[in-house]
Structure 1
Amino acid sequence: MSEDNVKDKETNSGLAENDMERTVIERAIHDNVDFIGYIDVKSGKIRILRHNDTFFNDDMELVSDYDEAIAHLINEHMLDEDKSICHKMLQLANIVDTVNMFGEFTGTFKLFHENGRALHYKKFTLRYLDKKAKDVLIAVQTDITEITTENRQMQDAMRGALKHAESISRAKSQLLFHMSKEIKTPLNTIVSMTELGKGRSEQKEYVNYCLDKIEASSKVVLDMIENVRALSHVENNDIQLNNDVVLFQPFIETVAGKAKADAYAKKINFQLEVDPNVAKCFRFDADRMRQVLKNILNNAIKFTKRFGTITLIVKCMAEKYGRQSLEISIKDTGIGIEDSFKPRVFEAFSQESEDNVYGGSGLGLAICNHIIKKMGGIIDFDSTKGVGSTFRINVDLDVATSTYQLKDDEEDICRGCRVLLAEDNEINLEICQQLLVARGMDVDVAENGQEALSLYMSNAPGTYDLIFMDVRMPYMDGLTATKKIRSSGKSDSKTVPILALTANARDEDISQSFEAGMNAHLTKPINVEDLYRCIEKALRGELARHTGN
């Protein structure tokens, strides 16, 4: 096809007359495509209108042979594994058949430069210049490397996310399977020891033995439930931290004391070492830190054999601007961790032993990692198989001045206090009442919010030192009862501490309690230490004041 023939075709075929085809070319030009050309179907000649692509020779003639141009492109710039199929696809006869059948030929191909660098993705589109004459094809080549690369990266990311989700799903299924087995053991112990104790109730020593077993097994079940609940907070990114004033020495000694008792029961030596430069008092979330240390210490005890050693070490690494950088280390002489498992230590549902020989849910360390990160700290570890492990927590804490000094005559701060307890569940009511009575408190009981409100209103101001309010109760719920107490106008209506008791621990639940006028939010099942600690804070006036809207 000569240049004159092509020019005549442009005029006679009516490129200007065919608005749709003209629009296609104009759009292609505006899109800065690599190549635009005409192909004469009969002669097989290609006329290059425009190209700015290094894949075409700069000295390529304006009118060239299509087969030669395509052969050069395939042989010089296509991958070996693509050459055969591209030779077939890009044959002019095949293109013409495709355009006749579908109105357009479109193909995407991978090209590389002669120096072997940078793979490019090109899209070829061909259609008739004049659909009626069907003798001239317009060919457009567009570089789609960027969008193709982005799509591939997105697909890879989606595949990775899907693979991770599938892995988590398998792990959760495995967790449920293991937990169903794990929870059977302590539950069987609770049921069996209850029956055995009832059958020999006259033998006090044996009954105490049964109660000890029931208590230990109950704690195992509660730990499992607490870890699963904590994981839901982690996955929803709604872990909330309190900023308590904490006397550090009593705090760490209490944590160590419980671990020491468990370690000694397995004939494991336990040591506590605290740097004398560690401040006496800090501001941090004591409950969350206790949870972290408890999880790590439990693992150390679990994986350390008899006559081994566990050491809890606290060091002050630096002090600046009213803050101390603490390093809390837990070192054991346990079985250690395999190198292959180390990258997954802090992943949820991960366990080194597939057969779950040592028990557990595989959640503890994942939760610890999230809590410490939330505190602005770092948790890491060193471990050698067969030698032992050391887990380290590095965190900066604000040094605080203690606002409360315990006096000798204040050991029974709860004794003699009068408490209003609103709870509709008979078992929860009995448990809570007995825990309060055990601390020397006098307890008035209400079975719903309406009864609680009536008892409060019928007694003189100052009668109750604090009020426990279940959130969900019949007739009137705890939130409504609290709002009515706060708005009652009695002289102590804004100051009497009201503590929520509920199984709901989501952020919105806590917010609802505070908005109603409650001073604290305690979750069920009741943790005795948390309960007593909260009561002591309430009686000292250390709880935040929420007087409702």
Structure 2
Amino acid sequence: MENSKKLNPTTRFLIYSFIGLLIFSIIIFSLLGIYMSRKSKKAVYEIGEIYMSGMNEQMSRHFETVIKLRFSQVYGIVSVVSTDKIDKELYEELVYRAQIRDFNYLALCSTEGNFETLCGQAIYPLNPGPFVDALLQGERRVAVGVDAAGNEVVLFGVDAAYPMQNGEKSIGLIAAVPLEYITEFLSLTDEGQLMYYHIIRSDGSFVIQNSNTELQYFFQQLQKQFDSSTNETPVENSVKKFGDALKNRQEYATTFDVNGEERQIYGVPLPYSEWYLVSVMPYDALEGTINTLSSQRMFITLISCASILFMLVLIFWRYFSMMRCQLHELENTRQMALEASRAKSEFLANMSHDIRTPMNAIVGMTAIATAHMDDHKQVRNCLKKITLSSKHLLGLINDVLDMSKIESGKLALTTEQISLKEVVEGIVNIMQPQVKAKKQSFDIHVEKILSENVWCDGVRLNQVLLNLLSNATKYTPEGGVIRLSLYEEQSPKGEDYVRIHINVKDNGIGMSPEFLEKLYDSYSRADGTRVHKIEGAGLGMAITKYIVDAMEGTIEVESELNKGTEFHITFDLEKAATTEEDMVLPAWNMLVVDDDELLCKTATNELKSIGIKANWTLSGEMAVDLVVQHHKKHDDYQIILLDWKLPGMDGIQVAKEIRNNLGNEIPILLISAYDWSEFETEAREAGISGFISKPLFKSTLYHSLRQYMGVEAENDQVANQIDFSGRRILLAEDNELNWEVARELLSDLGIELDWAEDGQVCLDKFQKSPKRYYDAILMDIRMPHMTGYETTKAIRETNHPDALSIPIIAMSADAFSDDIQHCLECGMNAHIAKPIDVSELTRILKRYFQQSYF
């Protein structure tokens, strides 16, 4: 009952609206019918006028064409008959030329307007004044005349100076044809036509009159207008306007009532004459059509109105059923929202545990470190665990924030030039602690990567790789194997793009077919005792799938329980326009030793591409045998690449054995994905000459090997000498605690820091500083007085000599892609997210400080 009361106002509104709409529709459609009827009548009149205009124009053009033809024939006579001939011969030839051109009359005209007939009966114009004047002015002119028998003829006069019998020179040659010639080719006398024609002179008199005389009164009125003796006689306004148009030789249309019926009259001047073509069309012939059209329109309007009203009735009755459907859909939406809410509640419950775990470790380790301040080993161990827990906690927070961005549709990509080599090397460095903690094997394969520099969102690509490798590490038991592979092929997008394939494979716990179906759903984690001790937000794969889709890539997965998982990702990335270095080394013999056959093959292929001849083997024992055999043949290997972890004899043992047999002359380089610092001392003692970090990109091999082959570049030597001592940085940071953290971290690197408490202070200090006083500016974003964006823009616009060259690096907790893009658009050079990663900040500073050396 309560629901029906709530619906009553709506029902009443709909009913009243429907009735009002019904009345309004009837009125509007009725007015529309009346209005359209009047507009139709006017439109038909205008169409008739357009039709008559077109017909008159067509008749005028036809008249002009025929008259031009006749004039050209007369000019043809003049052009071929010379005035130098004897008079009799001259006249005979003129007559002959006229007759073969079908002219019935031929005459010469004197200056006084006298006609001397050469052929046919004597002719003269009915209105000689304008005709003779035109000839005197050298113009061609057509006119109506009569012959001696009183027959009307059409005269064609052109200027011509022939001798006349009275000794004068003629001013024109006149050829003539009967008047019927005009009426026939213009079809002016055809009967049974809806529209008929008259040809009149400028004074209203007829040249050719059609047999239809219903407009006799109209033309009488028109002639009265030009008759000076009857000027006092009033004429109708339409006749007067028509007469004025005649005087000015203009086109004009009007209507005239004939015995209660309207006639539409249209006039147009004819060329080469004083004539006017007048067309007449009975308006009543169209009146019936207009009335019929109006009746049909009114009928159709009423039918349309009835149809619309019928549809409104249907809509009205359908409204209630639609409301019921909407209520049903709303209920379903509510249920889905409740399910989503429950999923997020479960997610928060899991997150409560996952967040508290590293937080408890941070708090506990801090307390332990505080209690054992004198035990440096214990404090160092606590700080190490605090660092790992902090990074894990930061990863959880980043996942939650990224998912929030994705659900709000605000996650954007920032396209920048990146090096695939640097990306993979960074990923390897990040993954080393996790892999080492679980004693897992981490293999990296790079095959045929020719385009190392590409355009893409480097941050998001890192995020995708870290998500996949972190999951592989988490869900692979101790001693398991994780493999990262990269290779390239031609992109279907064209030569400016390259298709990069990325494979992440593990032999971990795998996933069930049921879970694979919801792998990319938000807040989803595999259930069961298999993963209850593994921390995670359940958002990593949802974020990964979103990023891959946003980058227009593809992601595929194959997994089997207790056997492992393999992800395959493809990206079509635009190649970066970089100046390629000519990577060629001396053709030395080299031996590659690694238990991974695929790595050996790809490494030897890359070495071959830079000019080195390489062999490979899979075991340390075989490597020692090969080195000894080649030494005995006096064909020693000149460099040996040796994997650290080999079955049987490891890399360090193999190096010792080679040194015992061959001495210290041959460089032995250790290759590994593990941290060199962990075994550097032992390796040096065993005779290892250096270290190359996996993955083995072409550029990695080239730059690492050339220092042992006597081709090290001067720039490399300079770069290796760069340190941060004496460097001065201006730090814009409004939080004193953050300032203290940054000061301690950077001071350990030998950098001098100046503190600016806000953006305005930063701008003032920079403007007052001498040239090259500051080497860089670290800029916070959210500051009072001036934000980091505003401060950067202001610095770039100053007249300071370093305004455009000084590196400005954003150091902010605003770390999403659109935040980074905004920083770059405002004039900053790079971005680093808080909390500060010292190694990342060091890498960025080193890059910009190196540039100052060259």
Distance in 2 of aligned mates of 1:404 and 1:145: 74
Describe how 1:377-396 pairs up with structure 2 within 5 A.
377-396=553-572
* Corresponding residue number in structure 2 for 1:349: 523
The reply to whether residue 497 of structure 1 matches residue 807 of structure 2 is yes
Asked if structure 1 preserves the Cα contact closer than 8 Å seen for 2:440 and 2:482, the reply is yes
CA positional deviation for 1:181? 1.5
TM-fit CA distance, 1:513: 4.5
Q: Deviation of residue 150 (structure 1)?
A: 8.4
Aligned to 1:409: 718
1:201 aligns with 2:511: no
Query: Residue 440 of structure 1: CA displacement?
Result: 3.8
Give the C-alpha shift of residue 286 in structure 1: 1.9
C-alpha distance 173-509 of structure 1, shift in aligned 2 (>3 A): same
Quick one: structure 1 residues 430 and 361, their matched pair in 2 at CA, closer, same or farther if it must change by over 3 Å?
A: same
SS of equivalent residue, structure 2 residue 522? coil
Task: Name the SS for the 2:514 alignment partner.
Answer: coil
Question: Residue 442 of structure 1: which of 746, 749, 752 is its match?
Answer: 752
CA separation of 1:519 and 1:165: change in aligned 2, threshold 3 A: farther
Match of 2:502 among 318, 325, 328: 328
Q: Letter of the 2:358 partner, please give it.
A: P
Report the counterpart of residue 295 of structure 1 in structure 2: 467
Q: 1:275 to 1:489 in 2, by over 3 A?
A: same
Distance change (3 Å), C-alpha of 1:154 and 1:455: same
In the TM superposition, what is the alpha-carbon distance from 1:475 to its structure 2 partner? 5.2
Instruction: Tell me if structure 1 keeps the 8 A contact 2:734–2:757.
Output: yes
Query: Equivalent residue for 1:400?
Result: 576
1:360-375 aligned within 5 A: 360-375=536-551
Contact 1:264 1:270 in 2 (8 A): no
CA distance, structure 2, for counterparts of residue 154 and residue 326 of structure 1: 47
Match of 2:837 in 1: 527
2:364 paired residue among 167, 170, 192: 192
Measured in 2, the distance between the counterparts of 1:518 and 1:493 equals 11
Residue 436 (structure 2) aligns with: 264
Q: CA deviation at 1:391?
A: 1.3
Partner of 1:421: 731
Taking the aligned partners of 2:752 and 2:479, their CA distance within structure 1 comes to 47
Correspondence 1:455 to 2:738 = no
Residue type of the alignment partner of 2:431: A
8 Å contact from structure 2 (residues 771, 801) kept in 1? yes
Aligned 8 A contact 1:497 1:518 in 2: yes
- What's the CA shift for 1:265? 1.2
Structure 2 match to 1:340: 514
Checking the alignment, whether the CA contact within 8 Å between 1:247 and 1:402 is kept in structure 2 is: no
Count of aligned residue pairs for this structure pair: 410
Q: Provide the secondary structure at the position in 2 that maps to 1:531.
A: helix
Change (3 A) 1:285 1:305: same
> Of the candidates 447, 450, 466, which is equivalent to residue 275 of structure 1?
447
**Greater Rg over alpha carbons, structure:** 2
Q: Secondary structure at the match of 1:491?
A: coil
Change (3 A) 1:480 1:260: closer
- Mapped contact 1:414–1:441 kept (Cα < 8 A): no
How big is the shift at 1:331? 0.9
Cα 1:149–1:412 change in 2 (3 A) is farther
SS in structure 2 opposite 1:306? coil
How far apart, CA to CA, are the structure 2 residues paired with 1:186 and 1:316? 39
Q: How does 1:66-145 map to 2 (within 5 A)?
A: none
Give the RMSD, CA atoms, in angstroms: 3.6
State the AA in 2 paired with 1:441. Answer: I
Q: Which has the higher helix share?
A: 2
User: Matched residues in 2 for 1:382 and 1:465: separation?
Assistant: 50
Retained in 1: the 8 A contact 2:366–2:386? yes
Judged with a 3 Å threshold, the aligned counterparts in structure 2 of structure 1 residues 275 and 344 are, in CA distance, closer, same or farther, namely same
Deviations 1:60-98 (A, max 9, x none): xxxxxxxxxxxxxxxxxxxxxxxxxxxxxxxxxxxxxxx
Q: Please give the secondary structure, in 1, of the residue aligned with 2:801.
A: coil
CA contact under 8 A between 1:238 and 1:507: conserved in structure 2?
Answer: no
Counterpart-to-counterpart distance in 1, 2:428 and 2:400: 24
Instruction: Quote the offset at 1:238 in angstroms.
Output: 2.6
The equivalent residue for 1:79 is none
Partner of 2:535: 359
Deviation at 1:156, TM superposition (A): 7.3
User: For residue 90 of structure 1, what is the aligned residue in structure 2?
Assistant: none
Which AA in structure 2 matches 1:206? Answer: Q
- Which segment is superposed worse, 332-341 or 445-454? 445-454
Q: Where do 5+ consecutive residues of structure 1 fail to align? A: 1-19, 31-139, 543-549
Shift in Å at residue 443 of structure 1?
Answer: 1.8
| 8 A contact 2:414–2:818 mirrored in 1 | no
Per-residue CA deviations over 1:512-535 (Å, capped at 9, x if unaligned) read 645654344443223345434443
Instruction: Write out per-residue CA displacement over residues 361-384 of structure 1, whole angstroms, 9 at most, x where no aligned residue.
Output: 101111111111111101121111
Tell me, in whole angstroms, the C-alpha distance in 2 between the residues paired with 1:529 and 1:237: 32
CA drift of 1:483 comes to 4.2
Whether contact under 8 Å (1:377, 1:394) holds in the other structure is yes
Q: Cα 1:153–1:402, aligned 2, differ >3 Å: closer, same or farther?
A: farther
Cα distance, 1:426 vs structure 2: 2.4
| CA distance in 2: counterparts of 1:403 and 1:158, whole angstroms | 60
User: What is the alpha-carbon distance in structure 2 between the residues aligned to residue 424 and residue 256 of structure 1?
Assistant: 35
Letter in 2 for 1:330: V
Tell me what 1:313 maps to: 485
SS in 2 for 1:340: helix
Taking structure 1 as reference, are residues 332 and 512 closer, same or farther at Cα in structure 2, changes over 3 Å only?
closer
Tell me, yes or no, if the aligned pair for 2:719 and 2:850 is still in contact at 8 Å: no
Q: Is contact 1:256-1:312 (8 Å) kept?
A: no
Aligned to 1:473: 783
Bigger drift between 261-270 and 218-227 goes to: 261-270
How far the C-alpha of 1:398 sits from its partner, in A, is: 2.3
Name the TM-score, length of structure 1 as normaliser. 0.66
1:69 maps to: none
Of structures 1 and 2, the one with the larger relative CO (CA 8 A, separation 6+) is 1
The change in CA–CA distance for 1:349 and 1:535 in structure 2 (over 3 A counts) is: same
1:464-515 CA distances to partner (integer Å, 9 max, x unpaired)? Answer: 1211122333455444443443343222223323233332346775576456
Q: Which runs of 5+ in 2 are unaligned?
A: 1-18, 30-311, 582-714
Deviations 1:16-53, CA, capped at 9 Å, x for gaps: xxxx8xx79x99xx9xxxxxxxxxxxxxxxxxxxxxxx
Q: Which segment drifts farther, 347-356 or 388-397? A: 347-356
- Percent sequence identity is 33
Contact 2:441 2:480 in 1 (8 A): yes
- The answer to whether the aligner puts 1:285 opposite 2:595 as a matched pair is no
User: 1:433 — aligned with what?
Assistant: 743
Pair 1:173 & 2:483 matched: no
Change (3 A) 1:497 1:384: same
Q: Separation in 2 of the partners of 1:445 and 1:470?
A: 12
8 Å contact kept, 1:178–1:361: yes
Amino acid at match of 1:258: I
Determine whether 1:486 maps to 2:796.
yes
Q: Distance in 1 between matches of 2:415 and 2:777?
A: 23
Label 1:213 to 1:337 Cα distance change in 2 as closer, same or farther (>3 A). Answer: same
- Which residue identity is paired with 1:407? D
Q: Please state whether the residue corresponding to 2:835 is helix, strand or coil.
A: coil
Partner of 2:399: 227
Cα distance change of structure 1 residues 310 and 505 upon mapping to structure 2, 3 Å threshold = closer
Kept after mapping to 2: 8 A contact 1:278/1:315: no
What amino acid maps onto 1:386 in structure 2?
A: N
